[in-house]
């Protein structure tokens, strides 16, 4: 059976929906295969539609949470045991600002399997030849660029310019999106001025807490490559709900196990 169209969530209560799950993976889409280990029933859902009928809401909620957390896990709910297997596209990184540093940032992102994009309205700088590791270079203002590329909860946005007009436009558009991470470069003095400008434009104090600024982890980074590593480290830590400190000073599991 092929996948349905029109944005409706795909649900199979069938003997073997694995071909559909494999198809999701081939199409670089996000979804979850739920298996009731007691009865053998299986349901396949995607992230781009309403909740399915005939399946416990708690199980659906857990599957949706895991497909965005990008983890496959075994769970017991009541007297029933479920294995939830997820598939997802590579996470995306949106760099606002076709600055020289963005080149190293794209290189580090590619090295760890992420898909970097560069967005900048200045066509002279926003050229694919300057960013060979980028998935796409978009010569547009942030709001239009975000619309072209698309933003979801698994998307990270980093504002890398030092131009207030471009910075503010990017952050306003980012705060109006579902992006899971928003960061901005700049000195502490620049961050204070930016904060005042955003407040003047009607951004709430609560919304401002979504912005990681200054961006990155405190690694003492000096080179562009080290700075890129610092930023990626913070993005990964936020993505997994970690503080980003040293493991020797942490308690609990080193790696989360479902």
Name the domain boundary from 57, 87, 117.
87
d(CA 158, CA 143): 14
pLDDT of residue 9: 36
The reported pLDDT for the residue numbered 205 is 94
Residue 248 maps to a domain: no
Residue labelled with tokens 């975000």: 146
The answer to whether position 123 is within a domain reads: yes
Asked if 77 and 53 sit in the same domain, the reply is: yes
Residues 31, 145, single domain; the answer is no
Residues 80 and 200 in one domain: no
**Domain containing residue 62:** 18-87
Nearby residues of 229 by Cβ (< 8 Å), 6 or more positions away: 108, 219, 221
Q: Which residue has the tokens 């000195």?
A: 187
Q: Give the model's pLDDT for residue 246.
A: 74
What are the pLDDT tens digits along the chain (258 aa)?
333 333 333 444 444 446 788 888 888 889 999 999 998 888 888 887 666 677 788 999 999 999 998 889 999 998 899 999 999 999 999 999 999 999 999 999 999 999 999 999 999 999 999 999 999 999 999 999 999 999 999 999 999 988 899 999 999 999 999 999 999 998 889 999 999 999 999 999 999 999 999 999 999 988 989 999 999 999 999 988 888 887 777 776 655 544
Q: What is the DSSP letter of 90?
A: P
pLDDT digits (tens, 9 = 90+) for 81-124: 999 999 999 999 999 999 999 999 999 999 999 999 999 999 99
Residue 39's alpha-carbon distances to 60, 117, 119, 153, in angstroms, are 17, 44, 49, 33
- pLDDT at site 252: 63
Same domain, 67 and 142: no
End position of a domain, from candidates 67, 87, 107? 87
Q: What is the pLDDT of residue 51?
A: 65
Predicted local confidence at residue 13, as pLDDT: 40
Which of these three, 48, 71, 87, is where a domain ends? 87
Q: What is the pLDDT of residue 255?
A: 58
Strand ranges, E, within the chain = 31-36, 42-46, 73-77, 80-87, 92-96, 115-119, 136-138, 156-159, 181-184, 211-212
Same domain for 124 and 61: no
The one-character DSSP state at 187 is: -
Which residue's structure tokens are 């830590």? 237
Residue 198 carries which DSSP code? H
For residue 231, being part of any structural domain is answered with yes
Residues 125, 193 share a domain: yes
Q: Do 184 and 102 lie in a common domain?
A: yes
Q: Are residues 34 and 78 in the same domain?
A: yes
Q: Is 66 inside a domain boundary? A: yes
The enclosing domain of 211 has a CATH number of: 3.40.50.720
Q: In sequence order, which residues have a C-beta less than 8 Å from that of residue 18 and are 6 or more positions away?
A: 33
Identify whether 249 is part of a domain: no
Total domains in the chain come to: 2
- Give me the pLDDT at residue 6, please: 37
Distance CA 45, CA 84 (A): 11
Assigned domain for 174 exists? yes
Q: Does residue 195 share a domain with residue 112? A: yes
Q: Say if 197 falls within a structural domain.
A: yes
Q: Are residues 105 and 217 located together in one domain of the fold? A: yes
244 found inside a domain: no
Residue 27 sits in the same domain as residue 138? no
Co-location of 131 and 159 in the same domain: yes
């Amino acid at each position: 059976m092929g996948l349905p169209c029109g944005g409706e969530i795909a649900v199979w209560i069938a003997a073997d929906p694995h071909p559909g799950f494999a198809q999701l993976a081939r199409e670089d889409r996000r979804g979850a295969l739920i298996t009731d280990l007691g009865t053998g029933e299986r349901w396949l859902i995607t992230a781009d539609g309403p909740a399915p009928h005939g399946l416990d809401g708690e199980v659906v909620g857990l599957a949706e949470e895991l497909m965005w957390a990008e983890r496959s896990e075994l769970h017991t709910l009541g007297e029933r045991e479920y294995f939830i297997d997820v598939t997802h596209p590579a996470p995306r990184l949106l760099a606002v600002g076709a600055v020289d540093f963005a080149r190293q940032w794209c290189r580090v992102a590619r090295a760890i399997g992420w898909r970097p994009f560069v967005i900048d309205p200045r066509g002279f700088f926003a050229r694919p030849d300057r960013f060979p590791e980028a998935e796409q270079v978009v010569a547009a203002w942030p709001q239009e660029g975000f619309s072209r590329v698309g933003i979801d909860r698994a998307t990270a946005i980093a504002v890398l310019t030092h131009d207030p007009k471009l910075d503010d436009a990017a952050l306003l558009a980012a705060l109006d999106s579902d992006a899971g991470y928003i960061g901005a470069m700049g000195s502490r003095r620049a961050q204070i001025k930016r904060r005042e400008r955003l407040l003047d434009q009607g951004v709430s104090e609560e919304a401002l807490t979504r912005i990681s600024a200054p961006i990155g982890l405190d690694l003492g980074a000096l080179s562009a490559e080290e700075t890129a590593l610092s930023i990626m480290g913070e993005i990964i830590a936020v993505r997994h709900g970690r503080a980003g400190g040293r493991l020797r000073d942490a308690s609990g599991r080193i790696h989360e196990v479902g």
